[in-house]
Amino acid sequence: MVVLRTRRYARWVVRGLLSELWSNVGPSRRFAGPPVASRGAPGWAVVTGGTGAIGEAVCRGLAARGYDVVVGARDAARGAAVADAVARDFGVRSRAAVGDVRDAATFAGGDDAPVLLVNNAGVMGVARDETLRVNLFAPAGLTFTLLDGNPDLRVVNVCSSSHLRAGAVRGDRLEDAGVDGSLEVYAESKLGLMQHTAALRRSGVDARACHPGLVWTPMMRGFFGPRLCAFLGPVHRRLFRTPEQGAATVLAAALEESLQDADGDLIYFVDGRLAPRAASPEARTQELPPDVAALLRRGVS
C-alpha cells in the first residue's frame, strides 16, 4: 500500500506538478491560446463558484460569447455583484443563484432550461467530509437535477491533476471530519469527479472534464497561508497562471464542438486542448465504487 501511494505521488509530481510548472514558465506557454468558438445559438449557462478567480473569468468568457449566465454563489451579495457586472459589460441576461443544488429552479435560467453547466466550485484543505461533499457530491447532485428533463445539457467538470495521486474514492470519508491537511481526500474527490464525468458520457450525456492548471486563486492562497504567500512574493506571477489563463482551458472544454468521435470514455482538457492521456488510468478505465456511485445517485445532504 505504501509503495502504491509513493508511486502515485511520484506520478503526480512528474506528470502533474512539474509538467504544469514547465507549461507556466516554459517558452511555449501552451495554455495561453485563445479558446475555441462557441456553439451557434448560446442559451443559459450555469457556473458554480462563479464569484471569484476562475469561476468569474468563466462567467465573463461565456457572456462574451453570447451566453446568458447564472452565477452560482455562496454569498448572495457577491453573486449579485458579479451577475450585474456581467450583464452590464456584455449585454446578456445574468443572475445569481444561491441555494440547495437539489433545487433545479434555483439554478435554471428563468423559464429556459440551461444548455451548459460548469461545475467549478470546490474547496481545499478543509474537513475531509466537506471536501468530498463539495467537490464530488454537490456537482454530481446538481448535474443529475439539471439533467432531469434536459438530456441535451452539456456538463463541464473542473478537475485537477491532483487526481494522479489517488487510486480510488472512499465513501467512508463522508464520516471523517478531520482536516484534509495532506490533500489526500482532495485528490480522491477530483478522481471521483473525473470518473463521474466518464460515467455520464457512457450514459449518453455530453460531459467533459478539464484541469485549469496551477492557478493563483484565493483557495490556493488560503491553503498556503500568509507566510508562504509572503515568501513567494512576486514569484507567483511566474510560477502560477492567472485566473483568466486557467479559465481558458475551462472555456475550451465548454465550447469545443468536434468531440463526437473522441476516443475513450473520458473527455479531458489540459492546456486548452483535448488531452485524455494526461488523465490517470484509474480516471479513464476505473469506475466509481458501487457504494459511492449509489450515494451520488441518491444524493447526500
The string of pLDDT tens digits covering residues 167-226 is 999 999 999 999 998 889 999 999 999 999 999 999 999 999 999 987 766 665 665 566
Edge-to-edge strand list for the sheet holding 94-97: 94-97, 68-72, 44-47, 116-119, 154-158, 206-211, 268-270, 273-274
Which of 231, 228, 72, 64 has the alpha carbon at shortest distance from 139?
A: 72
| Range in 75-84, 100-109, 252-261 the model is least confident about | 100-109
Q: Which CATH number fits domain 2-298: 3.90.1150.10, 3.40.50.1100, 3.40.50.2300, 3.40.50.720?
A: 3.40.50.720
| Range in 31-35, 56-60, 88-92, 228-232 the model is least confident about | 31-35
Percent of the chain at pLDDT > 70 equals 79
Report the distance separating Cα 90 and Cα 93, nearest Å.
9
Contacts of 55 (CB under 8 A, 6+ apart): 47, 48, 49, 71, 72, 118, 120, 121
Please report, for residues 49, 222, 224, 225, 238, the alpha-carbon distance to residue 232 in angstroms, rounded to integers and kept in the order given. 26, 14, 10, 11, 10
